[in-house]
Amino acid sequence: DYIPLLSTELGVRFFDDELSTLCMAWLGDPVYSVREATTANLRKVVETFGPEWAQHSLLPKLATLVDNRNYLHRMTLLFTISTLASVMGSEGIVSSLLPLTLRLAGDTVPNVRFNVAKTFQTLIPLVEGPGVQTLIKPCLLTLNEDSDVDVKFYASQSLNLC
């Protein structure tokens, strides 16, 4: 809970140099509540520093989780995307969060794929312009044909929002 306060008091440079490494480590913590708290704290940091800072400083670090061998880290990335979406704005979602989400749609682990569909439930109402119809909906149509029942279920639910 002190990360947002320290970030506000000590500034962007201190966060980038000192605290971002800690936050990335906490996102990989084996305890869910630690990962959840870190995600909430990152949202507060983005509220403080702004979406432009997040696109240039935070999201490149988060993007490394896409290729992590541990599927829980990839799911944590999806939870982080859902949490950050409301403070990133439509442009930030389309340019930064959506590409990461789309990359995970082809994951080998069904739990990751159905969490992609659940993440879209958060993103769809926040995306302005043609992004929903041109990027999200085609992905959901593919997920809706998945061999996994849960992936199909959540894809169908998200398609209802398109």
- pLDDT value of position 110: 97
Mean pLDDT of the chain: 92
- pLDDT value of position 2: 61
Tokens of 59: 């999201």
Whole-number Å distance between alpha carbons of 162 and 124: 7
Section 39-57 average pLDDT: 93
Whole-number Å distance between alpha carbons of 54 and 45: 9
pTM for the model? 0.90
Whole-number Å distance between alpha carbons of 104 and 116: 7
DSSP annotation of 105 reads T
- pLDDT value of position 135: 94
- pLDDT value of position 143: 98
Whole-number Å distance between alpha carbons of 22 and 25: 5
Rama region for 22: left / alpha / beta (φ>0; ψ in -120 to 50; rest): alpha
Crossing angle for the helix pair 32-49 and 71-92, to the nearest 10 degrees? 20
DSSP annotation of 109 reads S
Q: What is the pLDDT of residues 103-131, one digit of tens each?
A: 999 999 999 999 999 999 999 999 988 98
Whole-number Å distance between alpha carbons of 55 and 58: 6
pLDDT beyond 80 at 12: no
H/E segment holding residue 146: none
